[in-house]
Amino acid sequence: MSNIDELLSEFPVIKEMQDYQPIFWKNPDYQTVENLPVGIEHVFDAEARFQRFAPYFEVAFPETLPMHGILESPLIELKSMKEVLNAQFEHQIEGDLYLKADNYLPISGSIKSRGGIYEVLKFAEKVAIEHGGLVYGDNYAVLNEEKYHKLFSGYGIAVGSTGNLGLSIGIVASKLGFNTTVHMSADAAQWKKDMLRSKGVNVVEYNDNFTHAITEGRKQAEQEPTTYFIDDEGSYDLFLGYAVAALRLQTQLKAQKIKVDEKHPLFVYLPAGVGGSPSGVAFGLKMVLGKNVHPVFAEPTHIPSVVLGMMTGLNDKISVYDAGIDGITKADGLAVGRPSRIAGKIMKTLLYGIQTFEDQDMMKNVVQLHDSERIDLEPSAASGFTILDSVLGQLKEDGYPLTNASHIVWATGGSMVPEEDMESYLADGRNI
């Protein structure tokens, strides 16, 4: 922990953050050159692993059959939502607005179907090769058979989560046969815990924040030599699972004739909790699409952990609680007070900036998207919309050519939210 008074004198904007004012942090190191610990070859490696597992998904999760066992989400143009937003914005959205609809990803209905599931697959493959005679050229549908189920039941998988990571990992790990434990913070929605328990997952509940839940989970897993702990605060496997999205998006951009070049810049708005999923996606996009794609993160004013870490350069060495910020938000997927050990470091030269937002704007956007496009998101997932207006102002100031730009709001979750929970989000948003 560092001395907050010293930080305040060096970064006066922290005072505004303590007062829960929305802020924009422009990354001073954006598009400068730095050696990264991972490269595009690691993204291709991750994509190849997903491909090897596709026949497994077809048999174990038949809902993935139409997609041939590949977990991917659509890129949807939002014409009506764009009109709704422009009617209220100070800075108009020129160009096109899209939703990357990870709310429709199979299995967890969230972006966690990328990173979380990927790390489970990587571990399962390793165990199956070392102890079950699997070879890379096998049809991985065999992993759904009793022999492998029995092998995997000798191992544990554990994870700490605010909800969706636990959901994605729990569902796939328990289906493979692993002894699965999910350590849930107090923010986790009840239905996520119920669903996991119904699938035989051991759910440990904490009446405390995410940092506490993950720390306890890690400690317990360390005492069990056959248990593999998936560490949301610093896992490269999670990170690379998210990064695969970039290869898939590149294909979708081409299919939908969306240009990305000097005159057609692409801006991508990603919600950040621990920072792992948005950083993984942003890293992948920079590797695949280069200098004309510009990632921006959105964080709640009450829990701006990634911006605090990146701005001060302290990254995971500072939490919002150290700065006297309360960490209370309706964005349960973003309720993480201390950022990832790796996200801020890798994002140092790849992230355009971070804008913080108020919960009420996010709830309002949930309603607007429902009414204008009939798409339902969980609150965190709508936060990309909240920052558009102010970021557009920044981009104009910076002289980006916006006339033919594309804007992608990354919708990170929501299709599995039970109807009555969704109704209550909408009622909340309508009351504002």
Ligand X SMILES: *Cc1c(COP(=O)(O)O)cnc(C)c1O
Q: Which of 73, 277, 301, 386 binds ligand X (CB under 6 A)?
A: 277
Q: Which of 106, 284, 413, 429 binds ligand X (CB under 6 A)?
A: 413
**What's the min distance (Å) between Cβ of 210 and ligand X?**
9
| Residue number, nearest CB to ligand X | 273
Our finding on whether 233 is near ligand X (CB under 6 A) is no
Q: Which of 106, 170, 265, 273 binds ligand X (CB under 6 A)?
A: 273
Our finding on whether 333 is near ligand X (CB under 6 A) is yes
Our finding on whether 271 is near ligand X (CB under 6 A) is yes
Our finding on whether 355 is near ligand X (CB under 6 A) is no
CA 62-68-74 angle, 5° bins:
100
Contact 268, 410 (CB under 8 A): yes
Contact 392, 89 (CB under 8 A): yes
Our finding on whether 305 is near ligand X (CB under 6 A) is no
Which residues make Cβ contacts (< 8 Å) with residue 428, sequence separation at least 6?
Answer: 330, 363
149-161: burial string, b at 16+ Cβ within 10 Å, e else: eebbeebbbbbbb
288-297: burial string, b at 16+ Cβ within 10 Å, e else: bbeebbbbbb
Query: What number of chain residues touch ligand X (CB under 6 A)?
Result: 20
Our finding on whether 336 is near ligand X (CB under 6 A) is yes
Please give the C-alpha separations between residue 264 and each of 113, 259, 268, 283, 396, in angstroms, as whole numbers. 30, 6, 13, 20, 14
**What's the min distance (Å) between Cβ of 192 and ligand X?**
10
**Stretch of 62-70, 79-87, 110-118, 321-329 lying at the interface with ligand X (CB under 6 A):** 110-118
Our finding on whether 287 is near ligand X (CB under 6 A) is no
Q: Report the site for ligand X in 173-232 (rule: CB under 6 A).
A: none
Q: What is the CA radius of gyration of the chain?
A: 21
Our finding on whether 380 is near ligand X (CB under 6 A) is yes
**What's the min distance (Å) between Cβ of 413 and ligand X?**
3
Our finding on whether 334 is near ligand X (CB under 6 A) is yes
**What's the min distance (Å) between Cβ of 270 and ligand X?**
8
Nearer to ligand X, 265 or 333 (CB): 333
**What's the min distance (Å) between Cβ of 431 and ligand X?**
22
Which residue, 271, 302, 270, is CA-closest to 286? 270
Our finding on whether 338 is near ligand X (CB under 6 A) is no
**Stretch of 19-27, 151-159, 261-269, 375-383 lying at the interface with ligand X (CB under 6 A):** 375-383
Our finding on whether 381 is near ligand X (CB under 6 A) is yes
Our finding on whether 116 is near ligand X (CB under 6 A) is no
Which residue, 297, 300, 320, 324, is CA-closest to 309? 320
Q: Which of 64, 164, 185, 368 binds ligand X (CB under 6 A)?
A: 164
Where along the sequence are the contacts to ligand X (CB under 6 A)?
110-112, 164, 271-278, 333-334, 336, 378, 380-381, 412-413
